[in-house]
Amino acid sequence: MREVDSETMKIVVCVKQVPDSWAEKTLRPSDNTLDRESVDAVMNELDEYAVEEALRLQEAQGGEVVVLSMGPSQATDTIRKALSMGADAGVHVVDDGLHGSDAVATSLALAKAIEAQGADLVIFGSESTDARMSVVPAMVAERLGLPQLTFSSSVAVDGGTVRTNRVTEYGYDVVEAPLPALVSVVEKINEPRYPSFKGIMAAKKKPVQTLGLADLGVAAGEVGLGAAWSVVAEAAARPPKAKGTIVADDGSGGVAIADYLSAQKFI
């Protein structure tokens, strides 16, 4: 275990730019990957909670917050948003060779970038709204040999220790690990701040480092669509919504609803 001086604690927050959740998404006909250019892009909502949590830890005990994003050139918008919220610096991993990377390859590139930063604490949102796999934080932790404290609904750092509430089906576990460590946060852990106008003005002057595959020491064959462990062979449009079931309430309506919800495993 290494002693971390909270004054100089370095937090790396990983953020992803995703298509606006309200937008209709399409696949590129050429390779069946998500067409990121045809839709408005925003910061993955859960990553806003991650940025907010990092800023709160920094405000409480000092240190530095670096925001890291892997994505095409327009991902700079998402990095700038995190800088507007208050992060100190940005790292943008961008390389044409990364296009089509699966979670395994993504975790490799992110791990290399985090390693180069020398983070004491790495914070992720617990999933992205486009891929929705929730595996990248765990994969990055494994690659870096860091303790992983996933699905956290609270995060506290005390000296060289991080303690979180890990959300479970029955409530939460209190888990603790020595730093450096990796945390993923769930929705509603906090209320993300709006970027202030002073923050927006200041963000223009904050440093953003751009790293390609060569800078990371990642071989082109290790990432990208060619290295993906799975490919989308075919895609079909979602069928139109089926008509709902209408139950006339003859006194048993409540039971019918309960039966339906139970069959769908909602209750």
Q: Which residues of this protein are in contact with other proteins, per CB under 8 A?
A: 24, 26-27, 29, 32, 77, 80-81, 84, 194-201, 203-204, 234-238
Shortest distance, position 250 Cβ to other proteins, whole Å: 32
Output 197 or 229, the one with its CB closest to other proteins: 197
Distance (Å) of CA 83 to CA 16, 44, 72, 200: 14, 15, 18, 8
Output 196 or 252, the one with its CB closest to other proteins: 196
Shortest distance, position 35 Cβ to other proteins, whole Å: 10
Output 104 or 208, the one with its CB closest to other proteins: 208
Shortest distance, position 199 Cβ to other proteins, whole Å: 8
Output 243 or 265, the one with its CB closest to other proteins: 243
Shortest distance, position 151 Cβ to other proteins, whole Å: 25
C-alpha 10/C-alpha 61 separation (Å) is 11
